[in-house]
């Protein structure tokens, strides 16, 4: 017990100054004292599938009357991306007073797909449609770092009038389930004006006015090298940015929702909330992650919870359900080694905690559904807290990318049935891992993967890869 307490004390050192200030100011744990927006439980719904997400998004765009503000890593030049962009232009034409803006990552929008030929990327589609259909739908490129490898704009959320449609999904064929295949994520619809205003305010007041943020609808957008100083300045500004909203006590039938944002390792309120949520868990903790590559503080907090007897459930995709997976019969590319690196991480983690797996206090569920892929993120803590986020729970999200999330505090368990129904639906396509040896060993991997992993390990570059990918 003393050893567990010592580990817990050490892990608490990772809690940011933001948390410690709140604890000193309130005399209570910061998680319970977070400001929140009250929302009627009946105004929050869980969508069941990528297809439902797509049809809901398109219907909301068509019905919009005031604003459509969207944040996503990318809006792809494919059938689904063109469908969404066409819907935005149609909505603007039908309602000229509409404010329509999409915020995407600057770097990701101006390159082709990994492993494909060099191209102008999705920005070429944005320019072509603007030239053909006219102004009114602005697509802004948001650079977080001078190079994509060092950080991307990973904010999530679609604000349409008084609603927030929140998912970790980006916008392309596989995320929106076009052409049969899908990439599973989580999808929540929250109908609340103050929440929509808070999230919209950050986009219109901070992102759109950023010194390095430019419209990608026009060929006049500068080259990255010309705005490098502005990018550095903007990153410093974003590291200090918060969602703005008032505080109102919860009433009967309401839950509290706190929008959070984070960038970097210092005073990152989203990272702080993630650690607090894990540390707060007493009976049950569920973690969804698409890439098993946990940041050190998260890993240590989970270790402590598992040793303390808290029932921990980790839901992640099989390596074949990873979006970087390349079937062995296709030409190998270095990026295709990532799913195997993640599986190796999982094998080591499960070997360490095999006794907890045997006892049933650690449950690792591996998702697989044909050739579809898995992209879920978030937390469920006991019966009172849930985190919706695009954060992948990896070192890159923890240190480099601009991330956000919605923390739901549900003291009266009003949403519990919805959370459990969502979890049951996800677990229906999983298998519980009973022993770490059930995972493939490295000597069973394709020869090119084995060679690359061994080469990385020899120079300890595997640790660097885990930090940035």
Which residues carry out catalysis?
A: 154, 185, 375, 403
Nearest Cα to Cα of residue 338 among 330, 348, 346: 346
CA distance linking residue 436 with residue 198, whole number of Å? 44
Exposed / middle / buried, residue 328 (Cβ in 10 Å: 0-12, 13-18, 19+): exposed
Q: What angle do CA 108, 234, 275 make, to 5 degrees?
A: 80
Contacts of 454 (CB under 8 A, 6+ apart): none
Nearest Cα to Cα of residue 225 among 216, 234, 212, 210: 212
Exposed / middle / buried, residue 153 (Cβ in 10 Å: 0-12, 13-18, 19+): buried
Strand pairing class (362-367; 385-389): unpaired
Q: What are the angstrom distances between the C-alpha of 292 and each of 187, 267, 352, 448?
A: 21, 24, 15, 21
Asked if 262 and 403 count as a contact pair (C-beta separation under 8 A), the reply is yes
CA distance linking residue 42 with residue 246, whole number of Å? 21
DSSP 17: H
Asked if 159 and 208 count as a contact pair (C-beta separation under 8 A), the reply is no
Contacts of 268 (CB under 8 A, 6+ apart): 16, 18, 239, 262, 398
Q: Is the dihedral of CA 36, 169, 188, 385 positive or negative?
A: negative
Strand pairing class (284-288; 311-317): parallel
């Amino acid at each position: 017990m003393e050893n567990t307490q010592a580990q817990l004390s050490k892990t608490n050192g990772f809690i940011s100054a933001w948390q410690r200030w709140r604890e000193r100011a309130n005399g209570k744990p910061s998680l319970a004292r977070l400001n929140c927006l009250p929302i009627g439980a009946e105004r929050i719904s869980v969508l069941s599938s990528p297809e439902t997400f797509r049809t809901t998004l398109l219907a909301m765009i068509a019905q919009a009357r005031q604003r459509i503000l969207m944040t996503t890593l990318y809006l792809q030049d494919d059938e689904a991306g063109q469908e969404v962009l066409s819907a935005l232009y149609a909505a603007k034409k039908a309602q000229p007073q509409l404010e329509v803006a999409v915020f995407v990552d600057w770097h990701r929008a101006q390159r082709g797909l990994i492993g494909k030929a060099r191209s102008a990327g999705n920005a070429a589609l944005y320019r072509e449609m603007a030239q053909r259909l006219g102004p009114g739908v602005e697509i802004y490129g948001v650079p977080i770092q001078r190079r994509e490898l060092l950080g991307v704009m990973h904010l999530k959320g679609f604000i349409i009038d008084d609603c927030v449609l929140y998912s970790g999904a980006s916008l392309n064929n596989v995320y929106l389930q076009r052409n049969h295949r899908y990439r599973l994520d989580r999808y929540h619809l929250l109908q609340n004006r103050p929440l929509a205003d808070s999230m919209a305010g950050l986009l219109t007041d901070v992102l759109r006015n950023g010194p390095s943020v430019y419209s990608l609808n026009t060929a006049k957008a500068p080259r990255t090298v010309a705005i490098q100083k502005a990018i550095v300045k903007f990153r410093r500004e974003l590291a200090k940015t918060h969602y703005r909203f008032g505080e109102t006590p919860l009433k009967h039938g309401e839950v509290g929702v706190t929008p959070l944002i984070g960038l970097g390792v210092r005073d990152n309120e989203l990272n702080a909330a993630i650690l607090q949520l894990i540390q707060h868990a007493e009976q049950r903790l569920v973690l969804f992650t698409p890439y098993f590559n946990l940041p050190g503080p998260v890993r240590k907090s989970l270790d402590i919870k598992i040793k303390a007897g808290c029932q921990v459930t980790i839901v992640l995709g099989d390596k074949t359900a990873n979006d970087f997976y390349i079937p062995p019969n296709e030409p190998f590319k270095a990026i295709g080694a990532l799913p195997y690196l993640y599986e190796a991480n999982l094998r080591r983690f499960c070997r360490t905690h095999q006794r907890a797996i045997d006892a049933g206090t650690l449950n690792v569920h591996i998702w697989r559904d044909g050739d579809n892929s898995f992209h879920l993120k978030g937390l469920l803590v006991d019966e009172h807290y849930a985190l919706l986020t695009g954060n992948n729970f990896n070192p890159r999200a923890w240190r480099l990318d601009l991330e956000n999330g919605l923390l739901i505090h549900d003291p009266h368990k009003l949403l519990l049935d919805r959370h459990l129904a969502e979890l049951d639906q996800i677990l229906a396509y999983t298998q519980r891992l009973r022993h770490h040896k059930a995972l493939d060993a490295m000597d069973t991997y394709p020869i090119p993967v084995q060679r690359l992993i061994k080469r990385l390990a020899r120079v300890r570059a595997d640790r660097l890869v885990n930090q940035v990918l």
